[in-house]
Structure 1
Amino acid sequence: MKVLVLHSLYAPHIGGGAEIVVRQIAEGLQRRGCDTVVLATGPEVGLHEEELDGVRIYRAGLDNFYWHFTQSRPSRLLRLGWHYRDSYNRSMRRHVRQVIEHERPDVVVCNNLTGWSISAWDEISAAGLPIVQVLHDLYLLCPKDTMFDKGRSCERQCGMCSAFRRPHAAASAQVAAVIGVSRFVLDRITAEGYFSRASQHVVHNSVDSSHSHSANPRPRHSGLLRFGYIGTLSENKGVGWLIEQFQALSINATLEIAGRGKLDYEAKLNELADPSKVRFVGYQPSERFMQGIDVLVVPSIWAEPFGLVAVEGCAQHLPIIATNMGGLPEIIQDNLNGLLCTPADPDSLGRAMLKLYLDSGLRHRLSSQARDSVAAFLDTERMLDQYQSILHSTLHGRSAQDEPEFADHFAPQVETAGD
């Protein structure tokens, strides 16, 4: 089987957990004998080929107002224009066509479509190839892919999101199989009429814990307790909420924050934080960072599609404080491997931190149960088995009458400037 993996970004460009998992899948399938090729966007004009750890990679220059993998925040008007063009970016089809013609894959696994848009589906269908769509985020419902606005998670699509995504549900009928990285994200998107003809699957993301240095539960801790956050520094991740709640506690503890974000938001967080209590440590390898903390906090105030960092924390025997948002409750179970809180009750985060600070016995019990509780998420070979099974059934179970009859008629009628 020859597999083309399409994704928004690819290493060394890492925007979040999706990039880590997509690389695991690409390299894992290649290791198992599948000829695997990756197609991702890049900052340079044109199509460029390279190889990374045995996998061929094509990077296509993003034909939009700017490349989305940047720390600077463009103006609101420019962002609006970017998202409008990304609702159906016809210009990006040529890169998909070039790679398909050159590589001749048997099946295409689409991941995050940011930058590509659903025009990639039309190009793949035009080539007569089956599409397997993996849902890592809420892009198909929201141009920002978060369904988060004005400090809270959206319960439904707003008017602008609905307008930008009007043809998408119908266009998704050309997808042969859809995989949600959590039950939450699969149900959330299919509830809006997506993937009416696709087989549906849930394959939870997994992490490779074989090199973990933390083989045993954390020892009971006395004295200074170290709370930690690692991930993107953005409003929807709840970092500001975490800082405020932590600083309101009168406890002998520190808070370390690892990660990067848009420069303007990083500046806001630095203004909010008391440097005597909160320390920003920049980008850190997750395993090394987690070995230096006692409690991991995942304070997402949006509907997190999965939350791979929570799995990584449990693998390191860390008790987790997480919100009950999105796919996080599929990982963290209250009083088994962590404590759940809710943005609907802002002080619930502070109470959870205080509870773990005061109750060392609870902290030790959660730590001792953490790794076993996520055992299924620590088996990357099992994840690869599931992906391979879905790919084989999609490829070999598809008959001629199943060929989708979709093409350009799902594109917006109004062309954007520069097309």
Structure 2
Amino acid sequence: MKLLFLNSFYPPHVGGGAELILQRSVEGFQQRGHDVAVLVTGPEQGVHEETVNDVRVYRAGLKNFYWPLTQQRPGPLARFGWHFRDQYNSAMRPPLRQVLQREKPDLVVCHNLSGWSVAAWDEIRASGVPIVQVLHDMYLLCPKNTLFKKGQSCQKLCGSCAALRRPHAEQSAKVDAVVGVSRYLLDTIVNKGYFGGVPRQVIHNASLIAGSNGETSTPSPEGVVRFGYMGTLSENKGVGWLIEQFQRLSLNATLTIAGKGQLDYETQLKAMADPHKVSFVGYQKPEDFYRNIDVFVAPSLWAEPFGMVAVEACAFQKPVIATRMGGLPEIVRDGVNGLLCNADDRDSLGRALQCLHDDAELRQRLSLLSRTAVADLLSMDTMLDQYQALFEDVLGKAQHGAAKQLHVPHTQLSN
């Protein structure tokens, strides 16, 4: 197959985990003998071609008010203007058309559309090439991708989201297949009226980290239970909630927080934390981080589309405490490889922390089962097999449809 992958960014430009999983996927398909290319937005105007790990990568200058990966956060007016233009950014159609004409792909696989907007679907459809859309986040419902506002997940679309996404549901019927990286994500978007009549499939992301069998863990001090969090330090990730609940309890335990966030929020978190029990360690290599914790905590206050960090923790044989939200329950099974708590019950996180602190036998049992519970999510080949089967099915249907259009019955000719 000749495949063109469309996304917002591609390494070395990285906005999140979607870029990393895309890179591994693209390189995996190339290693399988497929002809692959990638088209993403870039900070410089024009279309520039380069090679990244032997993969052709086109970067098209983003035609919007600013480049999203800028160091300084733009003001609210600029952000609104950016999202307003991103409703349907027709200015991004010509560079897409240029690459489509050059590459002549059999299939276009769209990932994150931010920057391209749903105008990409129209341009690809006009070229006659079938489309597979892969959903990584809530972009089609919420310009900020999160459906999170005022400290909690949105139960319905606010006025601005509804206005900026009004035509998108109808336009989504133009794709030939849609993939959600979790059942929760796919169902949430489909239930809002998207992808009517379009074949749908869930294909979970595969972990980029192999993990370990636990033999490299550093022994903890006598009786001390080491809890840990790794990820973005932001309100929607629930880090403040975790610190508050951890410090409310009388535990012989430590809490290690790895990751970075906006400076003002990091300062706020550090101000509320007891430095004798809570340590902030910045960016860490996963193998170093997991070696020095006993229990991983994913206290998300928003509905994580999937929650790959929970998979990675299990890959290192760490039991996970996670909220019963979004795609996390598809990874963490209560009483099997971790414990689930509820974001709307503030003390449920504290009860889970206390439970795994007090019950060493339960901790050990969950740890032993954790890697096995996510075994299917640790194989890149399994994920690529699922995508390849889907791509072949879409192409087969497209070719069959084209053949039917070319065949004109004799009775029609005589009329």
Unaligned runs of 5+ in 1: 404-419
- Aligned partners of 1:8, 1:295: CA distance in 2, in Å? 34
How is 1:22-101 mapped onto 2 (pairs within 5 angstroms)? Answer: 22-101=22-101
Give 1:374 deviation, angstroms: 0.7
RMSD: 2.0
Give 1:402 deviation, angstroms: 10
Classify the secondary structure of the residue corresponding to 1:232: coil
How is 1:253-264 mapped onto 2 (pairs within 5 angstroms)? Answer: 253-264=253-264
Please identify the structure whose Cα radius of gyration is greater: 2
How is 1:118-133 mapped onto 2 (pairs within 5 angstroms)? Answer: 118-133=118-133
What is residue 163 of structure 1 aligned with on the other side? Answer: 163
What is residue 407 of structure 1 aligned with on the other side? Answer: none
Give 1:15 deviation, angstroms: 2.7
What is residue 413 of structure 2 aligned with on the other side? Answer: none
What is residue 213 of structure 2 aligned with on the other side? Answer: 214
What is residue 369 of structure 1 aligned with on the other side? Answer: 369
- Aligned partners of 2:89, 2:396: CA distance in 1, in Å? 31
* Residue 135 (str. 1) matches residue 135 (str. 2): yes
Query: Do 1:297 and 1:322's aligned partners in 2 also have CA atoms closer than 8 Å?
Result: yes
Give 1:215 deviation, angstroms: 5.2
CA offsets per residue over residues 112-135 of structure 1, 9 Å max, x none? 111111111111111111110001
Classify the secondary structure of the residue corresponding to 1:178: strand
CA offsets per residue over residues 26-78 of structure 1, 9 Å max, x none? 11111111111111222233322222222111222222222222453222222
* Residue 400 (str. 1) matches residue 407 (str. 2): no
What is residue 2 of structure 2 aligned with on the other side? Answer: 2
Give 1:11 deviation, angstroms: 1.7
Q: Percent of aligned pairs with the same residue? A: 58
What is residue 408 of structure 1 aligned with on the other side? Answer: none
**Inter-CA distance 126–21: structure 2 relative to 1 (3 Å threshold):** same
Classify the secondary structure of the residue corresponding to 1:134: strand
CA offsets per residue over residues 363-384 of structure 1, 9 Å max, x none? 1110000000111111110110
What is residue 384 of structure 1 aligned with on the other side? Answer: 384
Answer with 102-111 or 91-100: which moved more. 91-100
What is residue 114 of structure 2 aligned with on the other side? Answer: 114
RCO greater where, 1 or 2, for CA within 8 Å and sep 6 or more? 1
CA offsets per residue over residues 343-397 of structure 1, 9 Å max, x none? 1101111111121111111111100000001111111101100000111111121
- Aligned partners of 1:113, 1:307: CA distance in 2, in Å? 20
Classify the secondary structure of the residue corresponding to 2:385: helix
What is residue 18 of structure 2 aligned with on the other side? Answer: 18
CA offsets per residue over residues 79-112 of structure 1, 9 Å max, x none? 1111111111122222211211221111111111
Answer with 57-66 or 363-372: which moved more. 57-66
**Inter-CA distance 42–233: structure 2 relative to 1 (3 Å threshold):** farther
What is residue 249 of structure 1 aligned with on the other side? Answer: 249
What is residue 277 of structure 1 aligned with on the other side? Answer: 277
Query: Do 2:238 and 2:299's aligned partners in 1 also have CA atoms closer than 8 Å?
Result: yes
Unaligned runs of 5+ in 2: 406-415
What is residue 406 of structure 1 aligned with on the other side? Answer: none
Query: Do 1:229 and 1:298's aligned partners in 2 also have CA atoms closer than 8 Å?
Result: yes
Answer with 365-374 or 280-289: which moved more. 280-289
How is 1:185-224 mapped onto 2 (pairs within 5 angstroms)? Answer: 185-210=185-210, 212-214=211-213, 216=215, 222-224=222-224
- Aligned partners of 1:401, 1:113: CA distance in 2, in Å? 31
- Aligned partners of 1:72, 1:354: CA distance in 2, in Å? 40
Give 1:201 deviation, angstroms: 0.5
Give 1:12 deviation, angstroms: 2.4
Query: Do 1:43 and 1:62's aligned partners in 2 also have CA atoms closer than 8 Å?
Result: yes
